[in-house]
Structure 1
Amino acid sequence: MTTPRDLLIITMDVASSRPAEQGDLSLALAGAELVDLLGAQALTLDDDRIVPGPQVAVDDHLLDEAASSLLRQQPYESVEDWLWRRGRDLSSAYLAALGTDVQVTPRRHRWIPGRTDKTELTDSPDRRQATDRWTSGEPVLTALAAAVGIQDEQPEEATSITDDAIATVLAAVHDSITELEAVRQRRRVEDAAYDNIWRGM
């Protein structure tokens, strides 16, 4: 299992005051990929720049795809730029991968036979592993989950991260999600103003 998959499972499995926005989740998944690639020594950070390391074999096709897509020419990509580039529709890709691995199944409506609007997790070793990591308060997973709104406040465990590179990635995830929410707010204001104009005509 990988941190991105664990994060996706937790967002599907843990009750939250609000569902994770797909854009927020995609940014967090891209950050989770960087964390795992740092652990695999596939890259290092020079300040906030991603410096690719040697090509390494990763036992996950999406993580391997992430490693292969690292920019290998200077000036290297910043963490924030990576999150926006790699994160585009990434939550859909990870959800599809879980479905391919038969870890999610359609949730059928009892009152509408054959209708399957949503998916639910099956009981699997991967789900149990993600749950164990979550309930133990593992700092990286806890911080990423908090970034997408699984917990209302930043947990104390997140402050125990001492690795500067990982802390840089997590900070960039938080800042990017904040920026995305600001864009959403502006669009809501603009849409409301546009509606008011039409009502006033």
Structure 2
Amino acid sequence: MTTARDLTFTAMDVSPSRPVEQGDLSLALAGAELIDLLTGEAVTLEDDLIVPGMRVATADRLLGQADEALVRERPHESVEDWLWRRGRGLASAYVAAFEKEGQLARQRHRWLPFREGRTELADSPDRHAAAQRWASREPVLVALAAAVGIGEKTTGDTSGVENADVETVLATVDDALLELEAVRQRRAIEKAAFDNVWRGE
């Protein structure tokens, strides 16, 4: 199991304080992948630049894709640039992978057995492992979840995280999410202003 997979399970399994935005989750998943590459010693950080090492051997297809997506020549990519590039549509990619693996199941209506209901997580060992990691309050998973609005821990709290490079990634995820929210607010204001002009107000 990877941190990104555990975060996806957590986002789908734990009732958040607010709905998790797909863009927010995608950025956090890109951060989770980078953290796994760091802890697996596939990359190191020089300041905020990602320096790839040996290619990682992993059975997880998406983490393997993350490793292949690293910029291996100089100048190396910054953590922030990685989050925005790798994070594009990443939440959908994880959901699609879960569907392919049978981690998601369509719930059938009680009275209409041939009609499919909404998609829910299947009861699987991977789901239980992620739930156990969440229940143990593992610091990295809790910090990433808090960044997207899941759990009680406040955004930016990295207590329990002992790796400075991991802290750098978590802080950059928080900054990227703030930037994304600012973009959303700016677009909302611009749309409201346009609507007012259209209505002649």
The TM-score by the shorter chain falls in which range? over 0.9
- Give secondary structure in 1 for the equivalent of 2:169: helix
Residue 157 (structure 2) pairs with residue 166 (structure 1): no
Query: Quick one: distance in 1 between partners of 2:128 and 2:155?
Result: 22
Indicate if the aligned counterparts of 1:50 and 1:76 stay in contact, CA closer than 8 A: yes
Secondary structure in 1 aligned to 2:83?
helix
Corresponding letter in the other structure for 1:50:
I
Contact 2:80 2:172 (8 Å CA) reproduced: yes
1:114 aligned partner: 115
Instruction: Quickly say closer, same or farther: Cα 1:178–1:42, change in 2 above 3 A.
Output: same
Which string of whole-angstrom CA distances, capped at 9 and with x for unpartnered residues, describes residues 36-72 of structure 1?
A: 1111111000010000001121120100010011001
Q: In structure 1, what residue type is equivalent to 2:80?
A: E
1:148 equivalent in structure 2: 148
Match of 2:13, as an amino acid?
A: D
Q: Please tell me the residue identity of whatever aligns with 2:78.
A: S
Q: CA deviation at 1:170?
A: 0.4
Counterpart residue identity of residue 65, structure 2: E
Q: 1:155 to 1:50 in 2, by over 3 A?
A: closer
How is 1:39-188 mapped onto 2 (pairs within 5 angstroms)? 39-108=39-108, 114-116=115-117, 118-151=118-151, 153-154=153-154, 158-188=158-188
Shift of 1:151: 2.5
Q: Deviations over 1:114-152 (max 9, x none)?
A: 354x42101111111100100111000000000011135
Cα deviation digits, residues 96-123 of structure 1 (max 9, x gap): 111111010124456876354x421011
Unpaired stretches in structure 1, ≥5 consecutive residues: none
Q: Report the CA distance between 1:155 and its aligned residue.
A: 7.3
Identity over aligned pairs, percent: 58
* RMSD (Å), alpha carbons: 1.8
2:199 equivalent in structure 1: 199
Which blocks of at least 5 consecutive residues in structure 2 are unaligned?
none
Measured in 2, the distance between the counterparts of 1:87 and 1:34 equals: 11
CA contact (8 A) 1:142 1:155 kept: no
Q: Give yes or no for contact 1:31–1:83 (8 Å, CA) kept in 2.
A: yes
Q: What is the total number of aligned residue pairs between the two structures?
A: 200
1:176-196 CA deviation, whole Å, 9 max, x = no partner? 011000000001111111111
SS of aligned partner of 2:15: coil
Supply the AA of the counterpart residue of 2:63: L
Secondary structure in 1 matching 2:158:
helix
TM-score with structure 1 setting the length: 0.93
CA separation of 1:187 and 1:36: change in aligned 2, threshold 3 A: same
Q: CA–CA distance in 2 between the matches of 1:184 and 1:75?
A: 31
Q: How does 1:7-46 map to 2 (within 5 A)?
A: 7-46=7-46
What is the TM-score normalised by the length of structure 2?
Answer: 0.93
